Structure formats: C-alpha cells, structure tokens
Amino acid sequence: MERATTVQQPAVTTGNSAVYVRDLTVVKEGFRILDRVSFQVAEGSFFGIVGPNGGGKTTLLKVILGLQTPSGGKVLVLNQPPGRSRHVGYLPQKVTFDPRFPVTGLDVVRMALDRKTRSRLGGLGTDEALRWALDMSGMTRKAHLPLRQLSGGEQQRIFLARALVKRPKLLVLDEPTLGVDASALDGFMHGLERIREDRNITLLMVSHEHTVIRYHTDLVLCVSRTASLLGRSQDVTTELLAKTFGHHEHPVEHPVDGGG
Amino acid sequence: MSIPWSIPWTAGADMGMLGLGFFQRALLAGCLTAFICALLSPHVVLRRMAFVGHGVAHAAFGGVALGLLLGWNLTLSGLVSGLVMALALGFLTRRHQVSEDSAIGILVAVGMALGIIALSMRQTYTQDVFSFLFGSLLAVLPGDVPIVVGTAAVVLGLLLAFGRSLWVFTFNEELARVEGHRTELLRFVLMGLVALAVVIAMKIVGAILVSALLVVPGVCGLNLGRGFLGATFIAVVTGQVAVVGGLAASFWSGWPPGATIVLILFLIFLGVMVAKRVQEMTAAESA
C-alpha cells in the first residue's frame, strides 16, 4: 500500500485547507499507532476516513481535536494548532454519561453555549442558534424530553445539535451512524448534506458504512497506522474497501439500501 | 477506652457552665457545612467521587494528629492535609497511571498511619482526636468559626465562578474539553472543593462518617429533582433537615452528633426510595 501522496508540495500554503496534517506520528505505550500520516482536507469538503479497527482512526481524530498530543509531525486545524480553534464541532461515536444526570435534550445542546458565546449572540441570537441546531438534527419536537427517555439514535442527534449549535467551520464525526437504525440513516445523512450546503461546513467523518462513504463523501482516506488516499469516493468499491480492511473487518453494507 | 463523647453533656452541670454558645457554634458550622456538601453532592454522586471524600477525611485526620503533636491549629492542619491529599490524588490519577480507587486506598492508609504514629508519640491521651474521628458537638471552638465561615465563602465563590463549567464537565469530560473548558483545572477545582467541604464537616460529623453528607443528599436530589438545579435544591434541603434534626437530637439525647446525622440521612434516603418506588408504580399503572 502506498503512502498518502496528497501533500505534493510541502511548501504549499495551508490557507484553504480546514485540516492540514503532515508526517503525524503518535506513539502510545511503545506502540506506533500512527506513522507519518499526511493529508489535507479542503475547506467545504466532505472527507471520509475508513480503516480497520485499531488502525488509529479515533486517535487521528483525537489529535485533530487536541485531545491527544502527537509524538511528531505538524497538524493545523483551521490554521491553528489542534484544540485552539473554537470553530470545531465534535460528535463522538458514543457519548458516555450517567443516565441519572437530570438533563433534557435542550439542556445538553445548551451546554455548548458558554457565557461568552451567549452574551455575543444575545438572548434572541441564542434562541435562534438553538432552534437552528435542533432543526438541522431533526430533534425540535423531542428536545424538551429528559435525555434518558430518548432512544440511542435520538440521543445521538441531540449530540449532533450540540456539535452544531456554535456554528462550527469544521465538524468532526466519529462513526456517527453506528447507533442510527437503517430507516433513519438516510435522513441523518441528508441532514449532514444540508448542514454542509447551508453553512459551507467542512465535514470530517470516520465511518464503516460503505454506502455512507460511497455516496456522501468527496474523498476517502484509509488509515491503518499509515494513511493512504483511496481516491474519490465514487472509485471506492466494496472490493477495494474489503481489501483495505483485510479479512477480519468488512465494511458494513447497509441492509435496507435503496441508494445508488 | 472511654467513650469521649459521652462525658461532657451527660454531666448536666457542665452544660450549664458552657451555656448555649457551643451549640450555636455547632449549629452554624453544621448548617454551613451541610449546605456546601449538598451543593457538591450531585457532582460527587455523578462523578463517583464518594470515596474521594472518604480519603480526604482520613488524610485530614492524619494532619490533625500531626498538628496535635506539634501544637498547631488543628482545623488548619486538617484543612492543609486534606488539600494536599486532594492534590496528590489528582496528580496520581491524572494520566491513569493509578486508578482512583487504588490511589485512595493508598492515601487513606498513609494518612491514618501518619496520624497513628503522631498520636503514639504523644504521651497524654486527648479527647480532641476522637472528636475528629467521630465528631462532636463540642469540637467547634470559638476560633474555628471564622475558619468555617471563610472556607464556606471560598467554596461558594468557586462554585459561582465554575458552576456552569462543572455542570458541563460532570456530564461529559471529553465534550467539555473539545468545547474549550479547561478540564484539568476543573478536575482539581472539584477535588479541592470536596476536600474543603470534608475538612470542615469533619469537626461535627467526624472523619469516618463524613462521606454520608456528601453522598446521601445528592442521591436523594438526583432521584427526586427535575433538572440539575432542582436536584441540587433537594440535596440542600436534605442536608439541612439532617443536620438541624441531628444536632437537636444529639443535644437532647446525648448521642454523638455525627452518628445521629447519618441515621437521619439514612431515614430520608429510605423515604426517598419508597417515594420513588410509589411514583414509578403509579406511573406504570396510569400508562
């Protein structure tokens, strides 16, 4: 497998890439999780990341979010070091929280709006931001319910609204469709497309879902300690993905799939 | 071993000499203490920090015994050793080198060991130490009042400054960090707040029973309250009822105050569990 060759000219300006990663290496407890990974995510694009379990996808996202310190290499997120920009939204694979925590869905979305943001937006602006985020994630009607009464997929959409409410320029999604059932998948993905068109948000998504990767993303990167660009998503066939994942891990082919 | 708490106020003559000053001090300290413990209690329950309070209390006991040996102010030496324990716990568990329960297991033992050695070096027996272990109505000395009030003010100030961040942090640490909260700082702030609350609570409730004041109000609040503020409000009410009731019962019966407060807390807890059960059953019937 060839190493990623997306960064053809190292001296190129990073002005119009939302994420710039060059020679990123992460070593944890003596294990080389990521080895000289390089790629760029163009502003406004929908960038997919695939790869086998334990291949370092989540670690890569954590570096980009500033949750994991890299051992080497250079990473810029919205032209700043990771963890610095306030314009990054994050939807984790599964948000762990104590089910006894007494919150409504709306409370959870509101958590993202700190004092500074609220005073900048003002009362009306804050309400408008909340309404927009809930509308985009399709949770307007159920937002007032206690979080523990919502289904897994609904909770995930509340967390999507939380990631959106500050109107990020970059939205990082880690397997967001894992808890979403087949019937709701299309709606969820179309929501993401809408968000992207509406706000010109850059989307960076890790996913196992073949249909999601194939029909929604622009470019696909495979991360398995090293990174290789698989190319434009239309060219990414099931066979190529299966080969990439190896024999142990097959990408999920969605059972109810009307697309394509 | 004599039972230290039974001496002063079963002998009725002493009580007259002391007047009500000691009881008013105990009531003031008790209510303030229960108030800040209750404010922290939902965090302690949701973040599973119950044993942090337990550990801090034992470390503080070590500090008190050391202070007794060296002639320091006991409340202050307890406060300092409790804070040192909270810091040590924070650093030990920071990078997950040591799990929190193991770290507490180590530090509790070290705190007690230091206390026991310090006590063994003292030739005379004193009751003070036992009042820190089991709590006493007489433990709040006139000089302690400003320390208790000051500590409560510091805790309240920090809660006002960090309250919203702590709410976001307790719900989910990772999202809080991505959204720009300084989670390392918040972790230490919360540990420090628990340490402060525990040390001033220790005077009345005692090191061994103090974690009840941090846990039971929060459990009651989270079971009955709507929203985080509602849960906190019920926690505060629970704490106040237990402390006022416990101190009054202790005053009239001569029972040690800490144990009395804990028993009242337990009765409230049972009541909440029954109420919750009834609520669920009626909800199931109507559905």
Q: Which residues pair with A19 in a beta bridge?
A: A41, A77
Q: How many domains, chain B?
A: 1
Which of B178, B224, B234 is best to mutate for the A interface (most A CBs within 10 A)? B178
Tell me if A229 sits within 8 A of A219, measured CB to CB. yes
Q: Which residue of A has its CA nearest to B183?
A: A67
Which of A62, A111, A144, A165 is best to mutate for the B interface (most B CBs within 10 A)? A111
Q: How many domains, chain A?
A: 2
A112 interfacial to chain B (CB closer than 8 Å): yes
Q: Report pTM.
A: 0.83
Alpha-carbon distances of B256 from B142, B143, B261, rounded to whole Å:
20, 22, 9
Task: Establish if A107 belongs to a structural domain.
Answer: yes
Q: Do A97 and B164 touch (CB under 8 A)?
A: no
b/e string for A217-242 if b means 16 or more Cβ within 10 A? bebbbbbbbbbbbbeebeebeeebbe
Q: Do A102 and B175 touch (CB under 8 A)?
A: no
On whether both A160 and A175 belong to a single domain, the answer is no
Tell me if B153 sits within 8 A of B32, measured CB to CB. no
Q: How many residues does chain B have?
A: 287
Task: Establish if A3 belongs to a structural domain.
Answer: no
Helices B74-94 and B50-70, axial angle in degrees (round to 10): 140
Task: Establish if A5 belongs to a structural domain.
Answer: no
b/e string for B170-183 if b means 16 or more Cβ within 10 A? bbbbebbbbbbbeb
Q: Smallest CA–CA separation between A26 and chain B, in Å? A: 16
Query: What's the token pair of residue A151?
Result: 């289904």
Q: How many residues does chain A have?
A: 260
On whether both A163 and A174 belong to a single domain, the answer is no
Q: What is the pLDDT of residue B129?
A: 72
b/e string for A136-175 if b means 16 or more Cβ within 10 A? bbbbbebbeeebeebeebbbbbbbbbbbbbbbbbbbbbbb
Task: Establish if A93 belongs to a structural domain.
Answer: no
Task: Establish if A24 belongs to a structural domain.
Answer: yes
Chain B positions in Cβ-Cβ contact with residue A111 (cut-off 8 Å): 167-168, 171, 175-176, 179
Q: Smallest CA–CA separation between B164 and chain A, in Å? A: 8
User: Residue A240 is part of a domain; what is its CATH number?
Assistant: 3.40.50.300
On whether both A54 and A174 belong to a single domain, the answer is yes
Tell me if A83 sits within 8 A of A65, measured CB to CB. yes
Alpha-carbon distance of A21 to A44, in angstroms, equals 17
Per the listing, tokens 């949750």 go with: A67
Alpha-carbon distance of A90 to A68, in angstroms, equals 14
Contacts with B, A 146-175, CB within 8 Å: 159, 162, 166
The residues of B whose Cβ lies within 8 A of any Cβ of A are: 45-46, 164-165, 167-168, 170-172, 174-181, 222-223, 225-228, 230-231
Task: Establish if B89 belongs to a structural domain.
Answer: yes
Task: Establish if B5 belongs to a structural domain.
Answer: no
Tell me if B148 sits within 8 A of B200, measured CB to CB. yes
Q: Which residue of A has its CA nearest to B220?
A: A100
- Structural domain boundaries enclosing A106: 98-167
Task: Establish if A56 belongs to a structural domain.
Answer: yes
**A-B C-beta contacts closer than 8 Å:** 60
On whether both A103 and A69 belong to a single domain, the answer is no
User: Residue B282 is part of a domain; what is its CATH number?
Assistant: 1.10.3470.10
Q: Do B180 and A114 touch (CB under 8 A)?
A: yes
A78 CB burial (10 A radius; 0-12, 13-18, 19+): buried
A52-74: average pLDDT: 90
Chain A positions in Cβ-Cβ contact with residue B225 (cut-off 8 Å): 102
On whether both A81 and A176 belong to a single domain, the answer is yes
Task: Establish if B244 belongs to a structural domain.
Answer: yes
- Structural domain boundaries enclosing B250: 10-286
Q: Do B175 and A92 touch (CB under 8 A)?
A: yes
Alpha-carbon distance of A78 to B199, in angstroms, equals 46
On whether both A104 and A150 belong to a single domain, the answer is yes
pLDDT tens digit string along B205-250? 888 888 899 999 999 999 998 899 999 999 999 999 999 999 999 8
Which of B41, B179, B219 is best to mutate for the A interface (most A CBs within 10 A)? B179
Instruction: Between B140 and A81, name the one with better pLDDT.
Output: A81
Q: Smallest CA–CA separation between A127 and chain B, in Å? A: 18
Which of B175, B181, B280 is best to mutate for the A interface (most A CBs within 10 A)? B175
B282 CB burial (10 A radius; 0-12, 13-18, 19+): exposed
On whether both A201 and A216 belong to a single domain, the answer is yes
Running DSSP on this structure, what letter comes out for residue B221? H
On whether both A141 and A237 belong to a single domain, the answer is no
pLDDT tens digit string along B120-136? 887 676 666 777 788 88
Tell me if A143 sits within 8 A of A158, measured CB to CB. yes
On whether both A221 and A174 belong to a single domain, the answer is yes
What Rg, from alpha-carbon coordinates, does chain A have? 18
A225-247: average pLDDT: 67
On whether both A58 and A154 belong to a single domain, the answer is no
pLDDT in single tens digits along all 287 residues of chain B: 344 444 344 433 344 434 448 888 889 989 999 999 999 999 999 998 888 888 888 888 888 888 888 888 888 888 899 999 888 888 888 877 788 888 888 888 988 898 888 888 876 766 667 777 888 877 788 878 888 899 999 999 999 999 999 999 999 999 999 998 999 999 999 999 999 998 888 888 888 888 899 999 999 999 998 899 999 999 999 999 999 999 999 889 988 888 999 999 999 999 999 999 998 888 888 76
On whether both A228 and A117 belong to a single domain, the answer is no
